[in-house]
Structure 1
């Protein structure tokens, strides 16, 4: 089943290394037959949160209206997050917080990375709380990528030979949850 799975990336640093990971995840999902738009805060240039999308009452900035349209079609979300000072990057938190109902009843999947050996898992654990509160609980598995600076070769391919096998298992889990919740949303939601 083809799904719509936006990939939300959370860094705006000038020398960001996680963008290669976000692009790879996007392409891997597309190769599986899914619509996977990459939501990059550098391209979308969201304002700092003043009002949520819904609070504009039809007069939202065009960038927010565009994202709301993408999110309304989503069957699930993939969040690609670095770890900044043991936490979530501010650009990602800003990207997430502009919306609420657009996320409801859709699963999320966390891909995390860091320069060190833990692969951003501390940020991933904080994201679980935020994503659950936003109405898009994360699937049980996470996909940590340690040593992001060495994780991909010059050709953009993963340096770790187990990467694709690990990602396949992770993607199958997300697909299962996204298909199940899509079917339940079609029947109606609790409120």
Structure 2
């Protein structure tokens, strides 16, 4: 089987960071993944709930009507970025072995039609030996219901504090190899799905 070289055609990617906890390690992972995706030539927008401050969900953006009348400007802009994206990368730890509430709260602001018929990739981490995999298993179902199916490869990072420094720089030889395996799958699937949408539309 021929190996796949990541396309030189850029993708628009929204990276969702799923943690707001004190002394969070996920920001290291997000910085690392943004850097890896940009090195591959992709256009990345980071959604960080600590910076964007999504309130506890009372009114998703699609409840403002088709013209989004009365919706906050930042939320309308964010929705457009989600809709314009070709693919998504989800960076998630695990809270009580589950999806962090800040992550699902943030993503649920936008309707499934914003995500549908696109690819996603899961990057999970933990300070322990399991690398956030229990959360990743739940994310597979969550992303499938949104319509942005996750690629088969999951990039799990155990002992994340020993794998990346505070600036998101890798501390071992495995990090870039693991990221590129995920990115190559995401790139292939996202381009295939974009081509299909552009040429044939969506159901």
TM > 0.5 fold call: yes
Are the structure 2 counterparts of residues 86 and 170 from structure 1 closer, same or farther at C-alpha, using a change threshold of 3 Å?
Answer: same
What's the TM-score once normalised by structure 1's chain length? 0.95
Q: Distance in 1 between matches of 2:141 and 2:168?
A: 31
User: Which secondary structure state, in structure 1, belongs to the residue aligned with residue 96 of structure 2?
Assistant: coil
Q: Distance in 2 between matches of 1:62 and 1:13?
A: 26
Match of 1:168 among 156, 180, 192: 180
User: Which secondary structure state, in structure 2, belongs to the residue aligned with residue 118 of structure 1?
Assistant: coil
Q: Distance in 1 between matches of 2:106 and 2:165?
A: 29
- Indicate the residue corresponding to 2:3 in structure 1: none
Segments of structure 2 that go 5 or more residues without pairing to the other structure are: 1-8
User: Which secondary structure state, in structure 2, belongs to the residue aligned with residue 15 of structure 1?
Assistant: coil
Q: Is the 8 A contact 1:46 1:63 kept in 2?
A: no
How far apart are 1:127 and its partner, in Å? 0.4
2:114 paired with 1:106: no
CA RMSD of aligned residues (A): 1.3
- Indicate the residue corresponding to 1:11 in structure 2: 19
User: Which secondary structure state, in structure 1, belongs to the residue aligned with residue 71 of structure 2?
Assistant: coil
- Indicate the residue corresponding to 1:159 in structure 2: 171
User: Which secondary structure state, in structure 1, belongs to the residue aligned with residue 154 of structure 2?
Assistant: strand
- Indicate the residue corresponding to 2:107 in structure 1: 96
User: Which secondary structure state, in structure 2, belongs to the residue aligned with residue 6 of structure 1?
Assistant: strand
Runs of 4+ in 1 over 3 A off after TM superposition: 153-156
Q: Is the 8 A contact 2:60 2:109 kept in 1?
A: yes
What's the TM-score once normalised by structure 2's chain length? 0.90
Q: Distance in 2 between matches of 1:66 and 1:154?
A: 29
1:1-191 equivalence runs, <5 A: 1-57=9-65, 58=68, 59-100=70-111, 101-153=113-165, 156-191=168-203
- Higher mean C-alpha deviation, range 63-72 or range 2-11: 63-72
User: Which secondary structure state, in structure 2, belongs to the residue aligned with residue 5 of structure 1?
Assistant: strand
Q: Distance in 2 between matches of 1:66 and 1:34?
A: 20
How far apart are 1:189 and its partner, in Å? 3.6
